[in-house]
Structure 1
């Protein structure tokens, strides 16, 4: 899941402006062309996060490290994003957004190129940390720029367009990169991403109009919602539930080695099935949450995730069975995303951008934790059984979700259009 997905990650920015000072001179056609191009940028940048998970065996052999050690490249990338996104966004808050986007692309491209050239695993980790810093800087900047280009009345649609790039990176970019890496070597995947990023950079620089946005508050303001224990409980649900979801995905090349016979193409098909059905699941879960309440949808999705992870070992030797389980697994994992946002926004509607930003940071932390937990699990019980660990973690997430609901009942949320019950 690469970044995960989608709507939640795209709202990484807590900087969404009330208005853009320079959008009056931008025609709607040019504005939306710029928004789409910003979305293409998120596609290019989001592709790197999980693409190496698809070529993990080849990657580990090339650098002469165990698969469990190689998997920490995902951990480093995600942890860097989680820590650097609020920090870099705060440090560059007063900069012109175009300048921030240029710096983000420069960091990302530097990291990707250095990854492709790195002779040792340690240098790969350093290079991926640099690339992650670029991603952490780009996504908030792209989000706030898109929101500023179209104005308040179309802000949600613009942000969704940008975040669709992250969804596409999981459903399409990572599988394509897996096929390229399997056929030509994992370093070729880095050159594929380099070309993709270069094209998006040219497009952003030429098609995205310059806008002026108001500077946001400092880091303390961004972290202020953590003083509300209801918010902490919901964010903890995000952290634990997505840790459960990503334990298998990070190491899926090893988990499904028997089902794919080591074929990169087959693995890419499984990744595509996960991303595509997960995208549908996320959309449907958001609509369902509006009808029956976010709490029930989140609880149901986590329960389905736990069940799918329990039965997943039965699918590790058959490609057809693996396809079925990946569809269920993908729907369950991604269906948590939109309702979790709904719960957070319902708690403090006036702080929605800040809360969504924190939710994205916790999602990145979950990806980082999953890489470590999965590595330990493979060493202890084997790759084909680590889903059992994920199932146990999912049960804990369900308990946290219910705790968040109880805390909300004791201290009712402010009135909002989105149900949180």
Structure 2
């Protein structure tokens, strides 16, 4: 009986990971079909790029505010209702023949998706055995990363042969099947006592935490600044067709997946500090190199591979580091980190749109690299504060 329950819980974690996959696909697929949406809705590339900005901001609200507001409710209901709302958002996107209706659909998808990812990650940790909690959380997060590997390039490829709206219909249908399975298998978990927002703010007032979270913003800002406009960038600079762009995104996503898995291994072997520092340095270097290689097909593919691996190696290492600072407040830290990641994405897509509008699109990569350098500065400051704090604790003992 124990083994059966254990296997069911493993299946549930995989299903939760698939939920992260569909929410990630809905978020990132717009980057691959940005030019198509721009042409179809008769808006500029920079205006179409704000679909990513709106999604990121709304996702942050879902991951932070909605998680706080729903904390006391039974977790299965919260998770299932977030999925239902996400499905509705995708259906609205399918019927969006107007830019502002599409914006509305993105808002609905994002807020429900942000709520889902935090609740699902903590759900996985609670149903897993003590020694497997970290692995269960990583599995859910990996589902989000896999959306880069499969969801985005497949969606981009399909857009070459189908109306782009059908991508969101396919996501809605797939998510409906997931909803049914989770409804049948997911165990009930009681809600928690809601933590007042003032108390949550006290947690992040720790300078080690706030500088670490600031590094999160600059790291993902530098990434999104380029990724949000990767399709028009490759089209203009490298003259790639939409089919070749989908292959390039597949390469990027594949190495992003490798990076996310390697990040966990690297933390165990070398610790979070070294893993984060090295991966951020390679990330920044890749963006500076992309300024030159974006005019070569082979150069682009190699640079995207290195960039994807480095960027997503940082993700699990960063989460491990932040939780290690405040292990007793891991859910709050995870919620803030997820929210700020999406605020960074919002700022990256918004700034990218401004750069495209007023300068040349080729400037995106080196500007993105500068923001990653800022992330390196802030995270190393956080490391130094943490080391000093550890020394002070040892002296007191």
Shared fold, TM over 0.5: yes
Aligned residue in 1 for 2:317: 339
Aligned residue in 1 for 2:65: 87
Question: Is this contact kept in 2: 1:258–1:317, CA < 8 A?
Answer: no
Determine if the alignment matches structure 1 residue 197 to structure 2 residue 171.
no
Equivalent position SS for 1:307? helix
Question: Is this contact kept in 2: 1:33–1:208, CA < 8 A?
Answer: no
Determine if the alignment matches structure 1 residue 252 to structure 2 residue 222.
no
| Whole-Å separation in 2 of the counterparts to 1:178 and 1:216 | 41
> What is the root-mean-square deviation of aligned Cα atoms in Å?
2.4
| Whole-Å separation in 1 of the counterparts to 2:110 and 2:279 | 29
| Whole-Å separation in 2 of the counterparts to 1:209 and 1:413 | 43
| Whole-Å separation in 2 of the counterparts to 1:298 and 1:382 | 31
| Whole-Å separation in 2 of the counterparts to 1:204 and 1:314 | 47
Of 225, 245, 248, 1:270 maps to 248
Aligned residue in 1 for 2:297: 319
Question: Is this contact kept in 2: 1:38–1:208, CA < 8 A?
Answer: no
Shift of 1:26: 7.8
| Whole-Å separation in 2 of the counterparts to 1:364 and 1:151 | 30
Aligned residue in 2 for 1:181: 159
| Whole-Å separation in 2 of the counterparts to 1:172 and 1:334 | 15
Question: Is this contact kept in 1: 2:25–2:147, CA < 8 A?
Answer: yes
- Give the aligned length: 394
Aligned residue in 1 for 2:362: 384
Aligned residue in 2 for 1:77: 55
Q: 1:353 to 1:204 in 2, by over 3 A?
A: same
Shift of 1:126: 1.3
Aligned residue in 2 for 1:61: 39
Q: 1:54 to 1:201 in 2, by over 3 A?
A: same
In the alignment, structure 1 segments of 5+ residues that lack a partner are 1-22, 416-421
| Whole-Å separation in 2 of the counterparts to 1:401 and 1:58 | 38
Q: TM-score, normalised by structure 2?
A: 0.92
| Whole-Å separation in 1 of the counterparts to 2:334 and 2:391 | 16
| Whole-Å separation in 2 of the counterparts to 1:120 and 1:405 | 47
CA deviation digits over 1:114-168, x for unaligned, max 9? 1121222122111110111110222222223323333434322322222222121
Q: 1:285 to 1:54 in 2, by over 3 A?
A: same
| Whole-Å separation in 1 of the counterparts to 2:263 and 2:75 | 33
Aligned residue in 2 for 1:48: 26
In the alignment, structure 2 segments of 5+ residues that lack a partner are none
Question: Is this contact kept in 1: 2:63–2:114, CA < 8 A?
Answer: yes
Equivalent position SS for 2:109? helix
CA deviation digits over 1:21-47, x for unaligned, max 9? xx9998222222222222222212221
Taking the TM superposition and a 5 Å limit, the aligned residue runs for 1:143-158 are 143-158=121-136
Q: TM-score, normalised by structure 1?
A: 0.87
Equivalent position SS for 2:255? helix
Determine if the alignment matches structure 1 residue 28 to structure 2 residue 6.
yes
| Whole-Å separation in 2 of the counterparts to 1:376 and 1:413 | 45
Q: 1:141 to 1:344 in 2, by over 3 A?
A: closer
Aligned residue in 2 for 1:207: 185
Bigger drift between 44-53 and 211-220 goes to: 211-220
| Whole-Å separation in 2 of the counterparts to 1:276 and 1:254 | 21
Question: Is this contact kept in 1: 2:226–2:368, CA < 8 A?
Answer: yes
Aligned residue in 2 for 1:159: 137
Shift of 1:203: 1.9
Determine if the alignment matches structure 1 residue 284 to structure 2 residue 245.
no
| Whole-Å separation in 2 of the counterparts to 1:362 and 1:192 | 29
Shift of 1:379: 2.1
